Amino acid sequence: RHRHRHRHRRRHRHRHRQSGGKKIRTKMRLWGVALVLILVFVPANADREIITLDCKAQLHFMSGTPVAVSMGFKDLDNLFNHLVAKFKDRLACACGEAMDPDEFLRKYHPLPALLNLFGNTQTKATETCNTKYSMLHEDIINFSKDVNEWLSTGMTNGILPCAYTDFSTTGCAFKFAAKSTAKVDMDLAVAMKMCPDSNMPFISVVAQGSFADSVFKPCSKTGNTQCSASSKCKDILELDSESASRRDV
C-alpha cells in the first residue's frame, strides 16, 4: 500500500508539472502574438513625448526612450496651491472682496494670462479691481500687440489658436509645424489644461515627424538604418569628446 501511494503521488506531480509547463508555454505564445500585433500596428511618425507635467504632479521626460525619466512633485503642487490661496486672500483685502475667478486667471495665472494676450480672441482687459501689477498692465498689453503684429499668423488676434477660456474648460492644443525648407523633419505639438481641484496645469509637449521617431534610439550595428533622413547615428561618448574639445579651444 505504501509503494502504491508513493507511485500515485509521483504520477500526480508529473501531471501537474506537465500542465504547468503547458500553461507557461501558452502564456508565452499569447505574449508573443500580442507583441507582434503591437509592432505591426504601431503607426509611423508616432508622437514622441518631450516633456509632460500631469495632474498627479508627475513630470515625465522623453517617455518610451532609453533616456526616459519621471519625477514626482506632489509637495510642489501643495505649495503652489497654498501660495495661490494666500495670494487670493491678499487680493481680497486690497479689493474689498474676493476677485472674480475669471479676472484672476487673466491677471495672474501664467498660462491663461498668456493665452489672453496671445490667443485667437481679442484681449479681455476689463477688471473690477485695478491692481497695480498684473498681466493686464497697459505696457504688457501694448507689448503683446506689437508681438502679435510682428508674428502675425492669420489668427483673429494673436499667434496662438486658443482662447484663455479654453484653458479651464475644454483645454488648448496647437502645433508648431516645421517649414518645408527645414533640415529636420519634426513638428512640435503642445497641449494644456487646468487640472481639477488644483491650480497646477496639465501641460505636454510632443514631437512629431520622422526625426522624432528615431531620436535617442540605439544605433543599428549595420549602419544608420534606424535613423530618419534628417538625422544620423552618433556615439554619445563621441559627442561628449567633441564638446570637450570645443571648450578647450
**88-97, pLDDT tens digit by residue?**
999 999 999 9
> Hunting for cell 503642487 — which residue is that?
77
- For residue 121, what pLDDT band results from cuts at 50, 70 and 90? confident
Sheet containing 69-72: order of strands: 69-72, 58-61, 48-53, 201-208, 187-194, 172-176
- For 197, the grid coordinates are 481641484
**44-80, pLDDT tens digit by residue?**
456 788 899 999 899 999 887 778 899 998 888 899 9
Which residues, listed in sequence order, are joined to residue 60 by a DSSP beta bridge?
A: 52, 70
**196-228, pLDDT tens digit by residue?**
888 889 999 998 877 777 766 666 655 555 666
Average pLDDT over every residue of 103-111? 92
- Residue-level pLDDT at 140: 92
Name the most confidently modeled range: 33-37, 92-96, 173-177, 238-242: 92-96
